[in-house]
Structure 1
């Protein structure tokens, strides 16, 4: 009887301890889920406040809020397992070996994910920016952990792996406040250069999309075979860069035409091709040169026929 009572007492104590541990583990798990959701919402609100002056970056907001949620849940699960009596040392060793094997097997995929994380943190471009990535130009339509989706000028979807995007040169055309365009015109040497520069600045000042600062700039920049090169530089907003630059080019060209300026163009001259003939070598005469008559020279005797004719 004594042994049975002692066994029952130990079983009751073990059951009570297990119930307490289960209750604490449940409370820890519930608190972990609540804390994960609360910190995730807090992170999203913090990012929204950080972008108060501009549009909220939804991609970064979603990524960071999800990252905070999963980190808190991971820490909470480790605490729950510890509360239940699981030895974390051996489990961490097993997880480390498994992580190493998975990492070696998915090395390329993990490199892409790591590049996506760096792009989401550093933010060299955002959704809606006009960029050039790995030789491909277009507008950014999406960004996740694996790839960046671009929409090209001819409305094609271009998917660039994040490893390629992060390891190559990235040109962001939307990030600067203003972009500069340069228009070059070649006028004749006889034209008035100062008058041409003044007309170009007048056309730039009349363009409403041109930025007043920095002010438009016009100078003579080269002297070539065809004529004198005059250049005009003006600044535009990134959204107006192409259309405004083309409109300003047409306006300057029409104004210079109206003022009588000429635009020399390359001319081609047709030359008749002739067959090449090498110079003829001088041929020596077959006859021997006549000898000069002199005191010591002997002249040939005339033939008898010739002598008879002379008589």
Structure 2
């Protein structure tokens, strides 16, 4: 059938067909490299995390970071390999990318600041996965740290993604950093009640709960004289994990112990005087 074509067309086909076949083969190989590269990058991330899981006391936050870093590096090499398959000179491409890096960096300086902040967070480690922190004006439990963002979960299990630059650029409050924390409760009693008896009742409540630490020693003292109550401050140390459960239980038990001991907690009373009509 090709013999029936004009000689000029046959000559052009003789030149183009090998190029088309070669281009088609290169396209299939490039797509295969791309698919295998993405698959291999994901597998390497999983393998890296699994390998780091075998290292004792290795932080989960670092595991995810290094796993993600390996994935991105493999993806970069995959893209370069695909471009090389189409005849693109990767060396010159890298040089061009390097020359354009400054302009691109200025254009995406916000994104780069998130990467830089993520690296600083990994170096100085102000928090770890599982810590309850307030960062970037948002409080929550740290779930993950990536190159660009920090993932937090609020107490009601709502996911919040915070840019790393906001986390690093603002004060970070880590409520889980120290093994013990101090609970402070202020309770007012009536002026007519026995202050010493009230303080003894509070001390009995503290001593009855093993979650209250004896060292540092608890503190119970009169904080102030209010408009309608004598305000007693109670300070007790406990394990960080017990902070909120003990605070809730202690508030309830002190109130119940006051009721049994005849100690009253005053509440605002308003007296209204009405004038008699003449």
Shorter chain as denominator, the TM-score bin is: 0.5 to 0.7
Give the conservation status (yes or no) of the 8 Å contact 2:64–2:145.
no
For the residues of structure 2 that align with 1:241 and 1:255, how far apart are their CA atoms? Answer: 21
Structure 2 CA distance for partners of 1:264 and 1:65, relative to 1, 3 Å? closer
1:59 CA drift (Å): 2.5
- 1:44-123 aligned within 5 A: 48=55, 51=57, 56-61=58-63, 63=65, 94=96, 96-123=98-125
- 1:177-256 aligned within 5 A: 177-256=179-258
1:271 CA drift (Å): 3.7
Give the conservation status (yes or no) of the 8 Å contact 2:64–2:144.
no
Give the conservation status (yes or no) of the 8 Å contact 2:68–2:146.
no
TM-score for both structures, normalised by structure 1:
0.61
Give the conservation status (yes or no) of the 8 Å contact 2:136–2:172.
yes
- 1:18-29 aligned within 5 A: none
1:171 matched residue in structure 2: 173
Q: Any unmatched runs of 5+ in structure 1?
A: 1-36, 75-87, 275-311
Give the conservation status (yes or no) of the 8 Å contact 1:201–1:217.
no
Aligned residues: 216
Deviant stretches of 4+, over 3 Å = 61-70, 90-96, 271-274
Q: What is the CA RMSD across the aligned residues, in angstroms?
A: 3.2
Structure 2 CA distance for partners of 1:273 and 1:106, relative to 1, 3 Å? farther
1:260 CA drift (Å): 0.7
- 1:35-46 aligned within 5 A: none
SS at match of 1:150: strand
Of structures 1 and 2, the one scoring higher in RCO (CA 8 A, sep 6+) is 2
TM-score for both structures, normalised by structure 2:
0.68
Q: Any unmatched runs of 5+ in structure 2?
A: 1-43, 78-90
